[in-house]
Structure 1
């Protein structure tokens, strides 16, 4: 009896295995060079040019601030060195404090500028990604593919599977431009203060 049940289970398993294997469709893959997409899409190139001008402006501002602060810092250092280890008077101490405040303000300004540029870059990438995935799905459907792979993840592929030009053309249509604004700030929940009775 046990032998018949075991034989029946083995036979059922043997019949089910080919049926399961037939259910999975054959893989039809397309390959996409996403580095090229992010570099060459029309909106990407425009954004890169505009971001580069903001980076250049921030560098220029940094050089200007350094040029303004350097002579004052050197003058203060000369005055401190002239004391030969003696305690600086109140006027020199005030100059040092005022200079440090100017340095702090300059550093904060530059840091805000850098954070702003990084936020704009992140927002540009977010906008591209929002449009890129539907475009890839569209190209997959057009080509009858059920798998899309980034070119950087492949060891080798034939040129016939490369769909980068199709994705690039579709993305240029779907995303003619991007907004060069910082990422939207998440709404901060307002803390509720307990009301007095």
Structure 2
């Protein structure tokens, strides 16, 4: 009798426990690829912004050279004067020249660092404007192509050319974002300074 009672209890228990829901299958991946590097090089707004950013970088480099020239000249003259002392302490006039040179170097470094910070902020602002339009466009193109995954072309080992939707993305980006503002980020959104500076 125990075996019938036990069997009936197991049967009742089996009926009381709901059957496990079948696991939902993940749909197969339908993939498109986008050459993000090409988009950033070829989009109309990107090219115009890059030209302006290159000009700003060249101006910083030219200013750094302008500041460095007289500092190097004065530094060489001070070194010559110090060597001529043959180990003696510099007089007050030479000491004042050394201090003035150090002050000029510090001011020059601060000016160049400020200009570089402005350039980094401008680059971040340009990228932010482009990405704000680019990401939704990639999603639209992906959906239009019936894909559920978009990858950067540089993240793939091999691919069929038919998966590349870069031209579609570029066309829409050029249409929706013909230009960007090439200016630093607003004050509260400045990019973090790199460590070591």
Which residue of the other structure, out of 101, 113, 116, is the alignment partner of 2:118?
A: 116
- Give distance in 2, aligned partners of 1:131 and 1:3: 61
- Give distance in 2, aligned partners of 1:26 and 1:104: 60
- Give distance in 1, aligned partners of 2:33 and 2:50: 25
- Give distance in 2, aligned partners of 1:148 and 1:10: 42
Residue 101 to residue 129, structure 1, CA distance change in 2 (3 Å): same
- Give distance in 2, aligned partners of 1:9 and 1:143: 47
TM-score (norm 1): 0.83
TM-score (norm 2): 0.83
- Give distance in 1, aligned partners of 2:151 and 2:15: 42
- Give distance in 2, aligned partners of 1:109 and 1:185: 18
Q: Structure 2 regions of 5+ residues with no counterpart?
A: 1-7, 190-197
Deviation, structure 1 residue 6: 6.8
The answer for the alignment partner of 1:4 in structure 2 is 11
The answer for the alignment partner of 2:193 in structure 1 is none
- Give distance in 2, aligned partners of 1:182 and 1:8: 68
The answer for the alignment partner of 1:194 in structure 2 is none
- Give distance in 2, aligned partners of 1:57 and 1:103: 19
The answer for the alignment partner of 1:195 in structure 2 is none
Which residue of the other structure, out of 4, 13, 17, is the alignment partner of 2:22?
A: 17
The answer for the alignment partner of 1:79 in structure 2 is 81
The secondary structure found in structure 1 opposite 2:135 is helix
The answer for the alignment partner of 1:93 in structure 2 is 95
Deviation, structure 1 residue 12: 2.5
- Give distance in 1, aligned partners of 2:175 and 2:100: 54
Q: Structure 1 regions of 5+ residues with no counterpart?
A: 188-197
- Give distance in 2, aligned partners of 1:31 and 1:156: 11
Which residue of the other structure, out of 152, 155, 158, is the alignment partner of 1:156?
A: 158
Deviation, structure 1 residue 79: 1.1
Deviation, structure 1 residue 104: 0.8
- Give distance in 1, aligned partners of 2:185 and 2:174: 22
Residue 2 to residue 44, structure 1, CA distance change in 2 (3 Å): farther
